[in-house]
Amino acid sequence: MHSRSIYCGCAFLLLSSVSIHAQQQTFQPDVKIGSLNAFVDGRAMYVLGGESGTAPGQANSQAFSIDLSVSWPTNAPVFTKLPDGPSIKGGFHHGASAISSDGRTWFVASSSSSGGNTGYFYNFRTEEWSEISNKQISFEGDKAISFVLGSGAATDPSSGMIYVPNGLVDPTGQRSMLQIEEDNVDRPINSVEMPDALQTTIGAGASTSMMSSTFVAWSAARESMIYLDMSTISTARAFAYNPEKGWSQLEMHGSIPHSRSDACFVAAQGGSKLVLFGGFDSSLQSSLNDIHILDTTTMTWTSGGNSMDNGRMGAACAASGDYFIAWGGQSRLSGNNVLAGTGTSTNTIMVYDMKTQLWTSEYVAPSPVRSKKSTGYILAVIGTVLGSLSVVLAIGACILHRARKMRIQASKDASMDGDDDYALGKYIYVQPGARNGSQVTLQEPPTYAAAALPQPLPPAYQA
């Protein structure tokens, strides 16, 4: 009965693992535009909400991940369903999104005027969403949280702070930057001033197209958040925010990309590179399919190959290892909007190899890099497993030893008439193949002839 329970338990675990794997393979997310997304290099890309394209301003709260720890072809990425985001009027789209520095939580904020102005945390361990209430805001004045269209967010891996440019607005329309401290449960939100030079672009009166033309990403190589302003007709402008030095404007070189909105802008390879892809060109009234990479050490742009797709605007993007990944969004050509995965855009996902500078049909996961923390965790797990195994083996040895003693004792009890035979020096002889004490007899100990006994060595060989 006990062994049957063990077999049933093992079968249940096996079936559960197969069920989870099947769910990953069968789940297909609805293609959306302007989804909130963030990623962890080599782990996963996380996507929330987005507009349908047919009903602008109306988005859902679907949440899912794309596995970046395993390799897959672009026609079969590994999706995993996550618990839907909080239900808010207007849904989640074109807002701020970032992963905490420890990789345990996901911060999101909708830009929806009807249901936004509220931030949320998603805990990957508990798989639960929690809201940042207005009572948790610690700044002076009448400012109110306002996560504007395309404001974006970036995480400082050193301090764990999350920054949201344009995320705070006062009654006069003056905007500043939100600083989110996730570990401070009571007062996680603070205000950081932004210079007048940026306020002229992103301050009061800024248009929707302006707001969706500003992008942020953190560069660990520069220990700064890079703020890219592409709202003007000319080439882009770049600014850096360092928590200790403040704001500064950066001079860029190379093939500087022209202005656009609804583009992807993500950090790659530890922030040593920043990738800009696609977007919408208002002068051409079409989506863009170009990709540009910024070397943050020299602040030099290089242009990669254009995609075979008609371009993407409002896509969700990530970078992992040597690859850039874009999911969803839509193409716009000659005034017609086409969702990714339909029409000439056969796949919902696109992959660019930054090493070969070519678009490819396969994503190759990077080799895992073990940090001191992960190595210690692995050793702890191994120690726990070995400790548990030793306990199981010890219990098993005790059970076997006890069972053996019981069998021997049973054989003795079944074969002996009394203890006198032991006093006479007799021994027990068990017939080979005997069971349950049958064919057990008592025999006299054997005698040996004198010649068979060991003889002393001759004197010549004695020591």
Maximal CA-CA distance, the chain:
120
Hey, how many other C-beta atoms are within 10 angstroms of the C-beta on 268? 22
Residue-by-residue DSSP string for 57-77:
T-B---EEEEE-SS-EETTS-
3-state secondary structure of 232: coil
Q: Determine the pLDDT at residue 132.
A: 77
* Burial of 199 from C-beta contacts in 10 A (0-12 / 13-18 / 19+): middle
pLDDT of residue 142: 55
Where along the chain do its domains lie?
A: 21-369
Degrees, nearest 5: CA angle 371-374-376: 105
**CA dihedral (137, 141, 142, 146) positive or negative:** negative
Q: What angle do CA 33, 36, 41 make, to 5 degrees?
A: 115
Q: Tokens 């920054």 appear where?
A: 163
The C-alpha torsion from 299 through 305 and 310 to 316, rounded to 10°, is -50
> What pLDDT score does 58 carry?
67
The closest of 307, 313, 306 to 339, measured between CA atoms, is: 313
What is the model's pLDDT at position 454?
A: 53
- pLDDT, residue 24, reads 47
Q: Report the alpha-carbon distance of residue 419 to residue 326 in Å, rounded.
A: 87
For domain 21-369, say whether CATH 3.30.420.40 is its number.
Answer: no
pLDDT at 358: 95
Tokens of 386: 């070995």
Among 240, 333, 325, which residue's Cα sits nearest to residue 284? 333
No. of helices (H) and no. of strands (E), the chain? 5, 34
Listed as own residue / partner, the contacts of 200-204 with beta carbons closer than 8 Å and 24 or more positions apart are 201/229, 201/231, 202/165, 202/166, 202/175, 202/229, 203/173, 203/174, 203/175, 204/172, 204/173, 204/174, 204/175
Q: Are 83 and 125 in contact (CB under 8 A)?
A: no
- Backbone φ and ψ for 339, nearest 5 degrees, come out as -65, 150
Please give the Cα distance from 104 to 79 (Å, whole number).
Answer: 19
| Ordered per-residue pLDDT tens for the chain, 463 residues | 444 444 444 444 434 443 444 444 588 999 999 899 999 999 999 999 988 766 666 678 899 999 999 999 999 999 999 999 988 766 777 888 999 999 999 999 875 544 446 788 999 999 999 887 655 555 555 555 655 555 689 999 999 999 998 877 766 777 788 888 876 656 567 788 888 767 545 444 444 444 578 899 999 999 999 999 888 766 788 999 999 999 999 999 999 999 899 999 999 999 999 999 999 998 888 899 999 999 999 999 999 988 877 789 999 999 999 999 999 999 887 778 888 877 555 568 999 999 999 999 999 999 875 544 444 434 444 454 455 555 456 666 656 667 676 666 655 555 444 444 444 444 444 455 545 444 545 555 555 555 555 555 555 444 4
